[in-house]
């Protein structure tokens, strides 16, 4: 689909790349090396994660935007955090940190056939638009929340899962679309949002802006 715009995804995540590909538009990937700001202002999870997304998109735009002219460009940044009992969980620092996160998310040892523990996944999205001269003409951001329900995990199951290596680069120390899905009873909301990019909301936003027909 040729929209007349150039699209740049400011993320190294292969999962976000795959999801954005479902829009059937050509896009480039530019990795943001911006340092994530700490939540010093104690923003809500929705506000904080959208700030992280903006930081990524801004960093890529400021590094390449002014030098690459000739076509209007859409810059898309995204970030994801997991929130349990008011605590924002990012990527684990090490295996011990991953164990602590998974122990919380799986209910800290709760038992029973129908036992489950809820947490929320927030993905923030920032959409920047620059004109053909590289000037930034709009900057928007939003976030989407999905509730995820874990079944109980034993200590041995948590250690086994960590040993696969999958948790170590994931917010909240698990991947819904991978092995981590084994321990998830259900979700309430957008599946793609948990994976890393709320495709439906992004599509509706781009249509509203007149970027997609």
Please identify every residue annotated as catalytic.
79
3-state secondary structure 107-122: CCCCCCCCCCEEEEEE
Rounded CA-CA distance 213/132 in Å is 20
């Amino acid at each position: 689909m040729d929209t007349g715009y150039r699209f740049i995804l400011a993320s190294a995540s292969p999962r976000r790349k795959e999801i954005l590909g479902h829009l059937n538009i050509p896009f480039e990937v530019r990795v943001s090396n911006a340092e994530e700001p700490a939540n010093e202002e104690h923003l809500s999870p929705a506000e904080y994660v959208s700030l992280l997304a903006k930081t990524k998109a801004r960093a890529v735009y400021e590094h390449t935007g002014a030098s690459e002219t000739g076509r209007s460009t859409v810059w898309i940044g995204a970030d994801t955090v997991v929130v349990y009992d008011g605590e924002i969980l990012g990527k684990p620092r090490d295996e011990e940190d991953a164990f602590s996160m998974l122990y919380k998310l799986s209910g800290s040892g709760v038992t029973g056939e129908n036992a489950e523990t809820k947490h929320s996944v927030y993905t923030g999205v920032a959409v920047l638009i620059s004109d053909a001269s590289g000037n930034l003409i709009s900057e928007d951001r939003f976030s989407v929340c999905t509730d995820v329900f874990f079944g109980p995990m034993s200590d041995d199951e948590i250690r086994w899962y960590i040993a696969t290596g999958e948790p170590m680069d994931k917010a909240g120390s698990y991947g819904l679309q991978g092995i981590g899905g084994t321990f998830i009873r259900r979700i309430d909301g957008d599946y793609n949002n948990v994976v890393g990019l709320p495709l439906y909301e992004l599509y509706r936003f781009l249509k509203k802006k007149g970027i997609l027909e």
